[in-house]
Amino acid sequence: MPEPVPADAPPADGEPGNTELTGLFVEKPPDNVVAVAGTDAIFIAKVDSTNLTRKPTMKWLKGKWMDLGSKAGKHMQFKETYDRNTKIYTYEMKIIKVVPGDAGGYRCEVTAKDKCDSSTFEISVEGEKKRPEKEEPQIDVWELLKNAHPSEYEKIAFEYGITDLRGMLKRLKKMTAPEPKHSEAFLKKLDSCYSVEKGKKIVLTCEVVDPNVQVKWLKNGQEIKPSAKYIMEANGNVRTLTINKTTLADDAAYECVVGEDKCFTEVFVKEPPVTITKLMDDYHVVVGERVEFEIEVSEEGAHDVELHKDHENPKYRFKKDGKKHTLIIMEATLDDIGMYHAWTNGGHTKGELEVEEKELEVLQDIADLTVRAQDQAMFKCEVSDDKVTGKWFKDGVEVLPSDRIKMSHIGRFHRLTIDDVKPEDAGDYTFVPDGYALSLSAKLNFLEPPKIHLDTSGNMVSQNTIIVVAGNKLRLDVEITGEPAPTVVWSKGDQPITDSEGRVRVEARKDLSCFVIEGAERDDEGNYSICVTNPSGEDKAMLFVKIVDVPDPPENVKCTAVGEDCATIVWEPPKFDGGAPIKGYLMERKKKGSSRWTKLNFDVYESTTYEAKRMIEGVLYEMRVFAVNSIGLSQPSLNSKPFMPIAPTSEPTRLTVHDVTDSTCSLKWLPPERIGAGGLDGYIIEYCKEGGDKTALCCLHHNDLSCDWVVANKDLCERQGYVVHDLPVGEKINFRVVAVNIAGKSLPATLAQPVTIREIVEHPKIRLPRELRTKYIRKVGEKINLTIPFQVRKQPEADLLSHGDGQPIDPKMVNVRNSNVDTILFIRSAEREHSGTYELVLQIENMEDRATVNIRIIERPGPPLKVRVTDVWGFNAALEWEPPRDDGNSEITGYTIQKADMKTKEWFTVYEHNRRTNCTASDLIMGNEYMFRVYSENLCGLSEEPCMSKNTAKISKTGLELKANPYKEKDMSCVPKFTQPLLDRSVVAGYSTAISCSVKGYPKPKITWMKNKMIIGEDPKFLMQNNQGVLTLNIRKPSTFDGGKYSCLAVNELGQDEVECKLDVRGKTRRRRRSSYSSYCRVCLFSVTVK
C-alpha cells in the first residue's frame, strides 16, 4: 500500500497554477448545528487522498475571509489524523465552551495542488438550559428555634447561615417566654412584631383596663423618656408610643408595663434599597483593548452590588471607589462578547460588549499610474502581515499571469507588473488579501487632458454645496489627472487664491490640489471655483461653501420667583442662531462658590421659562443656560445673579407684657423657633381694641376704614422688645407680633388675653450688691467705683448722705452720678478720711427706700514702741514691746521679730505673725551678743520701719570664770582664694541649672561672674547668690546659646583669684529620672563655708 505523499513546498510567487473544484470530501460537517452555550462543539471532515499526489491542505474559515488557524488555543483546537489503510485524512475542529460570539457561518476548504473542495455550515448558539428549580417552602427560622431543643441551636444556625446566634437567642428568650395568664391590666396587648422602613414613623398601640392607669414604655429593658423622637399618648383606654424618624438603633424589643403586667413586641427596621444612579454603557472595541464597565449606586460602600456576564460569574477584575463600581477587562477577546449585567437590591442595568478582530494594516497603498504606450506599469503595495496572500483584479475580473503580466509576493510586498502596456490595460486594478474584507485599488491611466475628480459626498446639501461648521477645518483634496501635470487655480468669486501659507491657502501635491480653510469663519462663505489647464485642455468646477455655527449663548438669565425649594428662571433667546433653527435649551445650576455645575435637564427644553426644583433652602444658587441647534451646543450664558430659596420664619415665641403705663405698653418676646436660611429682618407690632368698633381705633392712625389691626411701628423692629405709645387709658387692647424676612411675614404671636392700659404703682427698691452688705475695705491710693442698682418706674431722686449728720456729702471729696436705673459713687484716690458709713436715700413722691454702705480705707501700720530685752538666761532672751501708735486704720494682725549678731550684723527672722507683744528668742549661741528689731503687721502688710531694741542680749558661759591673758587681735587679712573650683557641666536645654564654687578671703572679696570673659550684668536670666562664701550662679531655662565658658572672679584689696568652667547645653531629649541621692551629693559637694 503506497505511503501518503508528503506536502511539497508551495509554488514560487508569481507562478500559481489553475485550480478546479472537485469532490474531495468523504464526510462533511452538518449544514446547521445548534450548540448550547457553555458546552463543547466538535466538527469533523474527512478527505480521501487515494487519487492525490500531494498531501491535502485544510483550512477552517469563519465568515468570508477569517482564517481560524491563527485562533488555535484554549478556545479552539484543531486536530489532524491519517489512516494508512483507507488513505483517509480526518480533520477535527473543537470549540471549547461555546459562547454567543461563536455563532455565524463557517467554511472548511481543502486544496491539493490543482484540486479544491469546500463545505459550508452554520452554527447557532442557544442559552444554557436551566433546570427548573423546585420551589421549596419558606422556613421560619424563629419557629424552628422556638420548637427545637437547646442542643440543636448550633446545628440550625449552621444549616441556615445564622451568624449572630447569640443575639437571636436573646430575642428568642423573650419571644419564647411562657405565655402569661389572662392579663387583668390589658384589654388588648401589643402585636407580636412590627416592621417599618428606615426614616419612617411607627406607632405601637395597646389597650388597658383602667383608663387612668399610668404605663411605662421600655426599650431593651430600659425605660423610654418622652422626647421629640418618642411621643407617648393616652386616649381613654388606648396607650400609644410613636417613634419618629426610625433608625437602625430603633430595631429592638419594646415593652409596655402596667404595674406587674407587661406586654412585649419586636420592631424591625428595614434599610432602603440601593439604587443605580449611573447606568452601564455599551462598548465596541477591537481585540486586545481595555474595557471598563462602570456604574454608580446611591450609597457609598454598598455591598449589595453584583456584576454578571449573561448570568455568569467570570473571573474578571472588580474595583470599588466610593459609589463607583467597575468591571475591568484588561485585554478583550472574542470570548468576551455578550451582555453584562449589574444588579443591586433596588435596581438593574446592563451593557453590551462587541469585540472585532484587528484589521489588516496597509503600510503602503497602491498608487495610480499614468503611462504611455509600450511602457512598463508596476503596482506595488505593502501590508502588515507577510504571510497574507491575495489576488489581483482588473475592473472586477481576476488577473491571470501571462508573458506580459507577472505577479510576485516577497515578504510583505505584493507586486503586479505589466510589460508593454497597451490601451486595453487601462482601468481600475484591485488587490484583495485572502481572508480579509479589504481591498486596495489604483488606476492605470494613459496620457490624457486634465480632469477634476471632485467628490463632495456626505457634505452636500444640494449639488456642489459644502456645509462647514464654524471653527472647524475645511480641507478639500481634489484629485487632478492629466499629462503633463496641469496648472491649478483656485478662486473665490473673481479673486484668485494664491497663498500657500496662512489660514486660507492652497497646497499642491502630486495628483492632488488641496484647498484648506483653518478655523472657518462666517466671512468665508461664498462661491469657490477650481480651474486646471495643461496643453491637452482645460477643466473647471464650481463649489459653494456654507458656514454654519453653534448659536450664541442666551441672554438675561435671571430668577423671577423663589420658594422653599424651588425657583423660576427666565431668559431671552440668543441673537444669532448659528444659521440653523434653535431646537431648545439646556439648564445648569451650581451653589455659589462651587465650581461644580449640575445639569437640570437632559432632553432639550423648548420654552424660555423654567422652574428649578429640589433645591436646598438657604443656599445661594447660580444658573446658566445653553442654546442647542443642529450644529451643537452654544457657550454658556452669563451666570444669573445669586438667588436663595427661602421660606418665611415661624411665629415669635413667648410674647409677654413687660410694663404698662397710662398711655404705653412695653412688650417682650423671643425669636421664632425656626428662622430658616432667609434670616430675620425684624418684627411688626400690631394692636387692636377688644370688642367694639375696631375700625374706629384703626382710624386713629390710618385713613383705611377696612383694617382691624393697627401697625405700631413704621420701621421694622430689630430687637425682641417694643414700647407701643399713644394708647387710650383704661381700654383693653389686643397685641400681636409678626416676624418678617425676605420671604415675607410669618404667622403672628398673640397674647392669651387683652391688656388694660393703666399704670401700675410700684414702690422704689434699692438692690444693694452682696459685697456692699458688709464692710467695704480698700487700701490708701486705690480707686473706688461703686455701682448700686435700684428698681423704680419713674425718674427717682437719689441722694447720698453721710452717716454722721445726715447731710449730702461734699462733691469735692466724692463724685456721685445718678441715672434711671442706678447710682455710682466714685473716688479717684482713696484717703483715710474717706472712711465711714454712707447712706443712700431713693425717693419717689412720698415713697422712699434707704441703704447704708460702710467703707474703710487702710494703710500700713507704724512701728512698735519701746522694744527691750527684759531677761537673759541660758541660751534664751525675753523681749517685750508696746503696740504702735498708728494701726493704719486696721487691726494689728501680728509682729515679726528678727535678731542679729553684733559681729556680722546680718538679720535673721525669729518669729512671724506673732500675735502677742512679747516673745522669747531661743537657741542663741554662747559667747555672742545679739540685738533685736520688731515689725508690726496688719491687712496691708508689715510696717515700713522696725523698732530696734534699746539693749542687747549677751549669752555668756556659766559656772567658770576665765582669766584670759590680755587679748591680742589677730590679723585675719587673707588674699581671695577659691577652696572649691567650678566644674564643667553638660545640661539639657529648657531645664534650669546652677554652677557653684566656694571662696575665702578677708576683707570680704567682691564677686564678679563672667561669660566668655564678658561680665554678666543685671540680666534677669541669671541669679547670683553668695551664702557664707558659697557662690552660686543660677541659669533659668538655658538654651543652646547659653553654652560657653563661665568664670568667677573674687577681688579684694590684697589680691584676686579666678576659676572657670565649661557649660555645654544639649537639645531636649527624653526626660530621665535622677535619684535623690545624686542630687543630695551634688548639693553637699559645694557646701563650703569661708573662715
Q: Residues 298-312: what's their mean pLDDT?
A: 66
Q: Residues 795-816: what's their mean pLDDT?
A: 69
Whole-angstrom Cα distance, residue 346 to residue 1025?
84
475 pLDDT above the threshold of 50: yes
1072 pLDDT above the threshold of 70: no
At residue 312, the pLDDT reads 52
β pairing state of 115-126 and 20-21? parallel
Q: What percent of the chain has pLDDT over 90?
A: 30
At residue 676, the pLDDT reads 78
Q: Does residue 629 contact residue 554 with C-beta atoms inside 8 Å?
A: no
At residue 278, the pLDDT reads 87
Q: Does residue 875 contact residue 925 with C-beta atoms inside 8 Å?
A: yes
Whole-angstrom Cα distance, residue 937 to residue 257?
72
At residue 600, the pLDDT reads 92
At residue 66, the pLDDT reads 81
Whole-angstrom Cα distance, residue 848 to residue 413?
126
Please name the helix (run of DSSP H) or strand (run of DSSP E) that holds residue 698, with its range, or none.
Answer: helix 694-698
Task: Between 918 and 647, name the one with better pLDDT.
Answer: 918
User: What confidence tier does 256 reach under pLDDT thresholds 50, 70, 90?
Assistant: very high
**684-695 per-position pLDDT tens digit:** 999 999 874 443
HSE, side-chain direction, 13 A CA sphere, residue 732: 8
Q: Does residue 607 contact residue 575 with C-beta atoms inside 8 Å?
A: no
699 pLDDT above the threshold of 50: no
At residue 794, the pLDDT reads 66
At residue 605, the pLDDT reads 93
At residue 1073, the pLDDT reads 45
- 61 CB-near residues (< 8 Å, 6+ apart): 67, 68, 106, 107, 108, 109, 435
At residue 801, the pLDDT reads 55
Q: Does residue 418 contact residue 392 with C-beta atoms inside 8 Å?
A: no
377, 434, 381: which is closest to 410 by C-alpha? 381
Instruction: Specify which of 137-141, 144-148, 864-868 reaches the highest per-range mean pLDDT.
Output: 864-868
Q: Does residue 824 contact residue 817 with C-beta atoms inside 8 Å?
A: yes
User: What confidence tier does 473 reach under pLDDT thresholds 50, 70, 90?
Assistant: confident
Instruction: Specify which of 262-271, 531-540, 929-938 reaches the highest per-range mean pLDDT.
Output: 929-938
Return mean pLDDT, the chain: 83
At residue 1090, the pLDDT reads 28
CA distances to 648, 684, 737 from 747, rounded to whole Å, are 9, 11, 9
725 pLDDT above the threshold of 60: yes
CA distances to 204, 765, 794, 823, 912 from 791, rounded to whole Å, are 54, 5, 9, 11, 49
Q: Residues 827-853: what's their mean pLDDT?
A: 86
Residue 319 phi, psi dihedral angles, 5° rounding: -135, 135
HSE, side-chain direction, 13 A CA sphere, residue 1040: 3
Q: What is the DSSP string of 164-203?
A: -HHHHHHHHHHHTSPPPPPPSSEEEPPPSEEEEETT--EE
CA distances to 332, 466, 476, 517, 546 from 459, rounded to whole Å, are 35, 5, 11, 15, 10
Q: Residues 833-860: what's their mean pLDDT?
A: 86
Residue 137, SS3 per DSSP: coil
At residue 395, the pLDDT reads 85
User: What confidence tier does 10 reach under pLDDT thresholds 50, 70, 90?
Assistant: very low
What domains are defined for the chain? 20-126 (2.60.40.10), 139-177 (no CATH), 179-270 (2.60.40.10), 276-356 (2.60.40.10), 362-446 (2.60.40.10), 451-548 (2.60.40.10), 555-629 (2.60.40.10), 653-756 (2.60.40.10), 765-858 (2.60.40.10), 865-954 (2.60.40.10), 974-1085 (2.60.40.10)
User: What confidence tier does 259 reach under pLDDT thresholds 50, 70, 90?
Assistant: confident
**990-1047 per-position pLDDT tens digit:** 999 999 999 999 999 999 999 999 999 888 889 999 998 999 999 999 998 899 999 9
At residue 314, the pLDDT reads 54
Q: Using CA of residue 179, residue 185, residue 191, residue 193, what is the dihedral sign?
A: negative
| Phi and psi based region of residue 860 (left: phi greater than 0; alpha: psi -120 to 50; beta: remaining) | beta
Q: Using CA of residue 179, residue 183, residue 186, residue 187, what is the dihedral sign?
A: positive
339, 287, 329, 289: which is closest to 37 by C-alpha? 339
326 pLDDT above the threshold of 70: yes
357 pLDDT above the threshold of 50: yes
CA distances to 407, 533, 537, 634 from 444, rounded to whole Å, are 16, 21, 20, 49
1091 pLDDT above the threshold of 90: no
β pairing state of 847-858 and 836-844? antiparallel
Among 163-167, 408-412, 625-629, which is the least confidently predicted range?
A: 163-167
502 pLDDT above the threshold of 50: yes
For the chain, report the end-to-end CA distance as a whole number of angstroms: 140
Whole-angstrom Cα distance, residue 298 to residue 279?
12
